[in-house]
Amino acid sequence: MTPLEYLKENESKSLDQLKDLLRIPSVSAQSKHKDDMITCANWVSDYLKNLGIKPEIMETGGHPVVFGEYHASDDVPTVLIYGHYDVQPTDPLDLWKTGPFDPIEENGYILARGATDDKGQFFAHLKGIESYLKTVGKAPINVKFLIEGEEEVHSENLPPFIEKHKEKLKADIVLISDGGQFGIDMPAINYGLRGIAAAEIKVTGPDRDLHSGSFGGSVANPINVLAQMIAKLQDEDGKIAIDGFYKDVYTATDWEKEQFTKLPFDAEEYRKSTGSIKLFGEKGYSPLEHTWVRPTLDCNGITGGYQGEGAKTIIPSWASAKITMRLVPDMTPDDILDKLEAYLKKICPDTVTLEIDKMGGANPVQVPTDGPWLDAAAKAIKTGFGKEPFFTKEGGSIPIVESFKIILGLDTLLVGFGQHDDNAHSPNERFLINDFHRGCRTSAALLEELSKVKA
């Protein structure tokens, strides 16, 4: 029996096992579930042990990490598979069709908290290696599992954990399945994430709120000044005016542009999904380019003066804004924040004082698109899904991917088996049963394909 035949034959059993895993209420945010977290870590650990992989439950300072290592040979690459066994809280409970931890099947879906995020997805990778160990007797590649318990509470303990266990976690490539395909029957490989740089700026005028009647017209109003400064950061077409902002911005390759055109993207559907009356964006680029390969500047918050009901006739002492910029290769947060600072100082009038709090950020991430890892992943998806994958990017950052890159020097393959409407973080979280099984098969195929890459 081949590994893929094994998976096919055991589909019903695999689903039952996933249901067992989904029954454990491993909500990392809630202390009442502390014991359930341990139960869940043990469940994963026991599963690895039963496969013949020696597991370790490792302290992190928070909920533990389940680590497992399978060594095939010194001559093949090592893949580090990341996942998380913790889940989101379940509120509001009354909107669920079933108990969040009483998985049911409905219309081809399995419904339960954690079904797609991330139990169903990381468990597919346990099934992948199982299919080799139970048929061939060995896997074609070295595999390390890092299944954490704090992804839904921001993985604060994970970067120091990775730093501390650098040697133990050594690998050639990271594999994460914790996201979505491009759509139903549209498996995808995400090969890039934008970075981010964050700052808070504060403009101060008078040393206290002044009466806008007595003083209005003779002193600078910090809100008006801040608005003028924000307006100068960007033209009305979304082009950012900070000196040197675009200097290190890479140009999407012809290969990338080709991938964009292959995607069945419906701008009107997309607009509707944003709830905006009209899309916006830098001239000369499509919405996918706006969010995937172009940098941005967005105010995330602004505050100043009186915000209660009615009017209060003051010139406020200060106004402030929170700003984040999304970065694309080869921009870096430090450089961009320095440029923002220099520009703001240049345009700030001398009637106010300016404070800038540079809050750091994360580098953009891009897996080499002409490298063997992407090719291998694409072949595996073809095997697992029976379809060519789409190549996609993501406009946001995934901090853990940045940590793997910075601490371990590793690129990450993002191969999500879920869908965007799987209700992750919402009531009635679900996972297409077919996506689960295709994920298991893709995982098995990935072990094979990745093993062939010359690391």
Name which of residues 91 to 130 contact a copy of itself (CB under 8 A).
none
Amino acid in the structure at residue 146? L
State yes or no: residue 291 binds a copy of itself (CB under 8 A): yes
Q: How far, in Å, are 314, 336, 341 from residue 359 at the CA level?
A: 30, 12, 12
Pairing of strands 142-148, 109-111: unpaired
Shortest distance (Å) from residue 276 CB to a copy of itself = 5
Name which of residues 15 to 44 contact a copy of itself (CB under 8 A).
none
Q: In which region does residue 92 sit, left (phi positive, over 0), alpha (psi from -120 to 50) or beta (all else)?
A: beta
When the beta carbons of 2 and 300 are compared against a copy of itself, the nearer one is: 300
Asked if 200 and 357 touch (Cβ cutoff 8 Å), the reply is yes
Shortest distance (Å) from residue 125 CB to a copy of itself = 25
- Residue holding tokens 């190549």? 391
Q: For the chain, report the end-to-end CA distance as a whole number of angstroms.
A: 29
Shortest distance (Å) from residue 314 CB to a copy of itself = 5
Q: Please compute, for residue 231, the number of CA atoms within 13 A of its CA located in the half-sphere on the CB side.
A: 6
C-alpha–C-alpha distance, residues 295 and 378, integer Å:
27
When the beta carbons of 228 and 434 are compared against a copy of itself, the nearer one is: 228
Name which of residues 172 to 231 contact a copy of itself (CB under 8 A).
194, 196, 198, 200, 205-208, 210-221, 223-224, 226-228, 230-231
State yes or no: residue 306 binds a copy of itself (CB under 8 A): yes
Shortest distance (Å) from residue 307 CB to a copy of itself = 4
C-alpha–C-alpha distance, residues 44 and 290, integer Å:
40
Name the residues annotated as catalytic. Answer: 86, 151
Interface region with a copy of itself, contact rule CB under 8 A, candidates 46-54, 88-96, 184-192, 293-301: 293-301
Binding mask 239-278 for a copy of itself (x = CB under 8 A): -------------------------------x---xxxxx
Task: Give the contacts of 265 (CB within 8 A, at least 6 positions apart).
Answer: 286, 287, 288
Pairing of strands 353-362, 430-432: unpaired
State yes or no: residue 282 binds a copy of itself (CB under 8 A): yes
What's the length of the chain?
Answer: 455
When the beta carbons of 295 and 416 are compared against a copy of itself, the nearer one is: 295
Name which of residues 380 to 439 contact a copy of itself (CB under 8 A).
394-397
Q: How far, in Å, are 60, 352, 367, 404 from residue 41 at the CA level?
A: 13, 55, 31, 22
Shortest distance (Å) from residue 27 CB to a copy of itself = 22
C-alpha–C-alpha distance, residues 310 and 439, integer Å:
56
When the beta carbons of 153 and 227 are compared against a copy of itself, the nearer one is: 227
Question: Smallest Cα–Cα separation from 451: which of 79, 31, 82?
Answer: 79
Bridge partners (DSSP) listed for residue 175:
81, 413
Name which of residues 310 to 339 contact a copy of itself (CB under 8 A).
310-317, 319, 321-322, 324, 326
Name which of residues 345 to 384 contact a copy of itself (CB under 8 A).
349-353, 359
- Residue holding tokens 């409970």? 93
State yes or no: residue 305 binds a copy of itself (CB under 8 A): yes
When the beta carbons of 84 and 294 are compared against a copy of itself, the nearer one is: 294
Shortest distance (Å) from residue 345 CB to a copy of itself = 15
When the beta carbons of 1 and 231 are compared against a copy of itself, the nearer one is: 231
Shortest distance (Å) from residue 52 CB to a copy of itself = 40
When the beta carbons of 287 and 372 are compared against a copy of itself, the nearer one is: 287
**Using CA atoms in the order 403, 408, 412, 417, what is the torsion angle rounded to 10 degrees?**
-70
Applying CB under 8 A, the site for a copy of itself has a residue count of 82
